[in-house]
Amino acid sequence: MIDQINSLLPQTQCGKCGYRGCLPYAEAIAAGKADINRCPPGGEEGIQALADLLGVLPKPLDSACGEHKPRAVATIIEEDCIGCAKCLAACPVDAIIGAAKQMHTVIASECTGCELCIAPCPVDCIEMREIPAESPVLAKRLKPLRAELARSRYELRGLRLAREEAEKAARAREKKAALLLKMQATAKP
Amino acid sequence: MNVGVCYAEADRQTWLRLEVPDDSTVQQAIELSGLLAQYPHIDLGKQKVGIFGKLAKLDAPVREGDRVEIYRPITADPNQVKRRRIDG
């Protein structure tokens, strides 16, 4: 059931629902802990789809979570970017390329429009730019493809961050073990 | 193994996925990707490279799932930009 609910969410990973991503929100809905009207990017259409799946009545979007907006992508104002890397850490789908003191650039085709990179930027150099609307037919076809792409990149990022964390912990353990050995060696008479 | 090679400019971004031999380096992945033909003005002697937001050397090994990235320098003076914001 969680997977079915998650497949109806836009995979924006924006957290506007109050959960850390689309999957945690899907889990909360499945557990009966969250209402179905907390996803602004999904909009009325998304709420209707969730209502149909769960056999409940749709209800208006919870305005406390935000409003449904036309699709937009983040854009970096290059003359102001100082290469601080804060937006890289904020992007849930690795849609920003850059490194410390290097220019940061949003890969427009990969951006889910989650807006999570906006607030961390210390020089306010990221803005959302609306994308020209597609024809309804094309938009309907692309929607699930975009969601699938975003979901897979969100998951891959999660795996990568977990791996980096594990490697860091392993290095710390090795360092500690080496230090202990050294201390034992010097402590011997 | 599968890796990505990525380069981005303000109005055009490219993220290529390709298969490279297991012992490939950052430089080999870039060369194999064909990205340099799409952006002939890239100068690997001057532009820094990295993997997923962390600077790396051209001879560093790449691993499965890595995204090799070629960067551009920033154009802003960090002190100027920060000051302007405080000024409002």
Residue of A77, A87, A105 best to disrupt the B interface, most CBs of B under 10 A: A105
Nearest CA in chain A to B72: A103
Cα–Cα distance measured from residue A172 to residue A94, given in angstroms and rounded to the nearest whole number: 27
pLDDT digits (tens, 9 = 90+) for A86-130: 999 999 999 999 999 999 999 999 999 999 999 999 999 999 999
Write a three-state SS string for chain A.
CHHHHHHHCCCCCCCCCCCCCHHHHHHHHHCCCCCCCCCCCCHHHHHHHHHHHHCCCCCCCCHHHCCCCCCEEEEECHHHCCCCCHHHHHCCCCCEECCCCECCEECHHHCCCCCCCCCCCCCCCEEEEECCCCCHHHHHHHHHHHHHHHHHHHHHHHHHHHHHHHHHHHHHHHHHHHHHHHHHHHHCC
What pLDDT does residue B77 have?
Answer: 86
Nearest-CB residue to A78 (from B10, B69, B78): B10
Residue of B15, B44, B55, B74 best to disrupt the A interface, most CBs of A under 10 A: B74
Cα–Cα distance measured from residue A146 to residue A12, given in angstroms and rounded to the nearest whole number: 9
Contact yes or no for A114/A14 (Cβ under 8 A): yes
Q: How many domains does chain B have?
A: 1
* Residue A183 identity: M
Residue A188 has pLDDT above 80, yes or no: no
pLDDT digits (tens, 9 = 90+) for B11-48: 999 999 999 999 999 999 999 999 999 999 999 999 99
Q: What is the DSSP letter of A110?
A: G
Which CATH number is B63's domain given? 3.10.20.30
A145: distance to nearest CA of chain B, Å?
17
Contact A99 B72 (CB under 8 A): no
Residue linked to tokens 């993220």 = B15
Residue B74 has pLDDT above 90, yes or no: yes
Contact A107 B6 (CB under 8 A): yes
What pLDDT does residue B85 have?
Answer: 53
- pTM for this one? 0.89
Whether A99 contacts chain B with CB within 8 A: yes
Contact B10 A109 (CB under 8 A): no
Contact B52 A94 (CB under 8 A): yes
Contact yes or no for A122/A133 (Cβ under 8 A): no
A68: distance to nearest CA of chain B, Å?
27
A65: distance to nearest CA of chain B, Å?
29
Nearest-CB residue to B81 (from A99, A123, A159): A123
Contact A101 B74 (CB under 8 A): yes
Whether A181 contacts chain B with CB within 8 A: no
For chain A, what percent of residues have pLDDT higher than 90?
A: 91
Whether B63 contacts chain A with CB within 8 A: no
Domain holding B73, by residue range, is 2-87
